[in-house]
Structure 1
């Protein structure tokens, strides 16, 4: 569900969405706002097209420079509700219609893109970032700020040390300047490229901060990990392939394998799905029956299960023949029910059955999950059962 909202795109797509960018930005639609700024040709529009519109990275070479503010509304599922704002390169905020209050007052994040390959303009990009950060902070001190040091390409190993040194200098100048001006701004830095998984991981971390239910999802995943001998678990948005939550274990990052597994499920479903009308009506062939079990050479098994509209639970487990498959499926069903309860803001506790014995751990999906009263009630209910 993508609405492109500048006037040229509005006419091109037959009037889908709002009539003007101002109307879209002023709308009380509850979407978290992600605003991409940076110098010309720094890669802002390419990032949006690759992450949210599934454009091939090589096709972005033919994109025209952004000449006006564009707004894209993302409604992939109940948790990924975003408004992506793409600013022209070097935007100076001189437009009287686009006031800083209109742009920065709402909940969201500024994503400032710096092209690390354009070494001559590093200082210009840093100055532009500082101007934007000062203005945004004066309007909304709670606004998150992320810096994408972009175009750190995977084939750059030959000059890896030079890249890291340039990245270190950019980061150092920004931090020193903010400290000198005593601005309470703590930007998060990400090294990204559209030619590998780094840009998806960066947006995963950015989007997670904008999801109110993220802590609840994280606790549910941690409960699943503890009770099912899972090594690592994620909840993925299948359309964009960003993960909106993961458990709190300090295991290796399996993002690339998860992304590949989602591609396999979608590709196989597209080939063998028999309903041609259903294929045309949905952006990707993914429904309640979508699932996969993939055995890997490193003695791990990947389990993928549909948990909600375009949401997937992806788990990594060691290949153990003693694993009780029925119990595993039961706990997957419990997790799916818990996600539905969070979606409906239900306060019903969800109980996972443990492989280590008959006792069950209770994970509640209420907003008061950390309160003492809620925990005591859950424990009592477990003992009674």
Structure 2
């Protein structure tokens, strides 16, 4: 891997036909070639990770040492460049990128980082053809970078839809990573049932859950999802852990989604402290029946909209105001969403979540969610935790 300080000329390289190119990088290169583009500029955290293996921290957004989002530039032959702040150079060197361009210095706050960031971008561009189409992600590319590309004579084309479709079917490396994520969610769900006791706060319970992930990954893990207890909070559909004290009879929704090695797991279970209200028991049975109907319907060729309809039709009479599921990978929610109107057929090798739910302000809420690989003959369940009430 080459390190190119901002402003130094980038070497000319030719890797056409290079062996051993990672399939995740190769699919971006194929998109670039198919579009007849000179190269692609990726700026979304998940796309940068997918193409190069650089894990971009998410919980703080763009790091304070950065002048803009980390960039990955991908040539049609799969050669890659990363533009990162110097304090993130170690992570970049540990990635699959061929070249790393660092910018910034150790005088944080004394000089603006944005011009240094742009110098790093221009150093990377010096290795690539001027003029010609360039594929970009307009929802995350900054205006100064877009202007720098146009100054070189490039026409900018949106890669968003082709890229998200190319990432639908997972590579063997992604399947393995996502199974590890599913295992982590399953372990956390089992701990949630043990840790949730009357007299403890939601935050205390969630600290026990989070410890499962932190120990597994060896550092503070990044997480998303929901953890709610009680009728009012679970009926509200979404919410993070608070200082609410759990009471006997409380319903609990644990929607737990950790990030491991750049990939996301997801899961949801609903259980009760003590004896469930009969109305909640009926709601839970309906949601479980809807999940089972969805699992039975999963197969290559069924559209996301048709799968959504199967699940909804299995649960009439309940408020169900959210999607039925989604794909997962380098982002916690990937394309396609399983919801009405999404006429995208499932394909063998996809990894999806099914998460039907029902909510009633007088009873509480129920949501159940398993990770599933779309196999040739149907659903292959990746999750391994109980769904009983």
Task: Specify if TM > 0.5.
Answer: no
TM normalised by structure 1 equals: 0.32
Larger helix percent: 1
Structure with more contact order per residue of length (Cα contacts < 8 Å, sep ≥ 6): 2
TM normalised by structure 2 equals: 0.31
